[in-house]
Amino acid sequence: MIKANITSTGKYLPKNIVTNVDFEKIIDTSDDWIQNRTGIKQRRLVKKNETTADMSTFAIKDLLKKRNLDPNDIDVIIIATITPDMTFPSTAALVQKNLSANNAWGFDISSACSGFLFALETGSALIKSNRYNKVIVVGADTMSSILDYTDRNTCILFGDGAGAVLLEKSHKHGIIDSKLHIDGNGADFLKMEGGGSLNPTTLDTVNNKMHYVYQNGKQVFKHAIRGMSEVSCEILKRNNLNSNDIQLFIPHQANKRIMDAVANRMGLKPQQMFSNIEYYANTTAATIPICIDEAFESGKISKNNNLIISSFGAGFSWGSMYIKWGI
Ligand code: UT7
């Protein structure tokens, strides 16, 4: 049976660091509150004119260099993002041009914080179809482009960044199992209402701040813990894995309290979970691929290890995936 194996990883984080203390100067908040409630200490934000396509391009270049590949080797580029450079054309098309990846086709996937997981499942299906050899899956978001920096409930939570993985065929290693969900009953709890066909952009949508992230934090918090822990426990159970069999768990990095609660419900010890939320905050579709790259680069995951990744986000959308690491 063909499996989609992750054979290279890459990432890009903007240089510009914004600390919690920087936020104390512009909104009514404190470093203590942000750290205690979220685990975040700082985040990276793009400079003017740096975009999701730019960050994705850098992350892919990093991945290609590590695997000693040429852009012309790429068959497919899938970009998970809710902050594309433009509504259309796709960010994937802009990235294809930046790279001069002349043999690639591709497209964007929009599923907020679960975007990378859903894109990885899609990329895996393309590899398993046996029609494509090298599929790149990116998670990238420029959250600073859709945040209201006067709203303390949301602006402190997010950062900008991009992560990428390369999928190739394997018979032994790679994505073994996954379970993914969406439930539109959660749509009103986390959304950006302006600019779509429901509320096309007008002066009113701008004045009513409808082009910014809105979140009911408490509702999302509750559903995130339940959703990620239930689906991850199900993945463990149906693959006959117990908590000791897992070398690394990478949850979506939205709130350290959510991540700890999920790991705890899965019966994992703190050292089995990967976290970098304190440095980058919530980069939406980019959190998991950035973590995968850092975990691999730092030796926290190595060949034949069992890796579980899990996400929860707007939609609601959530899921869990079991990967037998193969490099
Ligand atoms: O990635 C997509 C998925 N997103 C998530 O998973 C996020 C899920 N939600 C959360 O992480 C948490 O709900 C938050 C971090 C957003 C908020 O934490 P909380 O413990 O649920 O706080 P809260 O919303 O209940 O707010 C408690 C208090 C409120 O004041 P009052 O009403 O008690 O007077 C807020 O106004 O904290 C206040 N508050 C702040 N205070 C200082 C809210 N934001 C801030 C802030 N600084 N930045």
pLDDT tens digit string along 261-310? 999 999 999 999 999 999 999 999 999 999 999 999 999 999 999 999 99
Judge if the beta carbon of residue 41 lies within 6 A of ligand 1: no
Mean pLDDT of 241-256: 98
Torsion of CA 319, 136, 294, 249, to 10 degrees: 20
Cis bond upstream, residue 289 (ω within 30): no
pLDDT bracket for residue 3 (50, 70, 90): very high
The DSSP call for residue 35 is H
Judge if the beta carbon of residue 219 lies within 6 A of ligand 1: no
Exposure string for 196-235, b = 16+ CB within 10 A, e = fewer = eeeeeeeeebeeeebbbbbbebeebbebbbebbbbbbbeb
Report the atom number in ligand 1 closest to the C-alpha of 152: 48
User: What is the pLDDT of the chain when averaged over all its residues?
Assistant: 98
Contact assessment for residue 71 and residue 63, using Cβ atoms and an 8 Å cutoff: no
The pLDDT value recorded for residue 152 is: 98
Q: Where are the alpha helices (DSSP H) in the chain?
A: 20-24, 31-38, 52-67, 91-99, 115-128, 203-207, 217-238, 256-265, 277-280, 287-297
In whole angstroms, what is the distance from residue 192 CA to residue 209 CA?
9
Judge if the beta carbon of residue 57 lies within 6 A of ligand 1: no
**Amino acid in position 214:** Y
Torsion of CA 295, 297, 299, 300, to 10 degrees: 0
Mean pLDDT of 242-268: 98
Q: Whose CA is nearest to atom 30 of ligand 1?
A: 153
DSSP-derived 3-state class of residue 7: strand
pLDDT bracket for residue 70 (50, 70, 90): very high
pTM exceeds 0.95: yes
Judge if the beta carbon of residue 191 lies within 6 A of ligand 1: no
pLDDT bracket for residue 109 (50, 70, 90): very high
Judge if the beta carbon of residue 212 lies within 6 A of ligand 1: no
**Amino acid in position 151:** D
What proportion of the chain, given as a percentage, has pLDDT over 90?
Answer: 100
**Amino acid in position 215:** Q
Strand 190-191 with 17-19, pairing? unpaired
For ligand 1, the distance from its centroid to the CA atom of residue 173, given in whole angstroms, is: 40
Pocket mutation for ligand 1, best pick of 221, 258, 283 (most atoms within 8 Å of C-beta):
221
pLDDT tens digit string along 79-96? 999 999 999 999 999 999
Burial of 270 (0-12, 13-18, 19+ CB in 10 A): exposed
pLDDT tens digit string along 123-137? 999 999 999 999 999
Mean pLDDT of 228-239: 98
Mean pLDDT of 159-168: 98
For ligand 1, the distance from its centroid to the CA atom of residue 283, given in whole angstroms, is: 17
Judge if the beta carbon of residue 220 lies within 6 A of ligand 1: yes
Hey, which residues are catalytic here? 113, 252, 282
pLDDT tens digit string along 12-40? 999 999 999 999 999 999 999 999 999 99
The DSSP call for residue 46 is P
Q: Whose CA is nearest to atom 1 of ligand 1?
A: 254
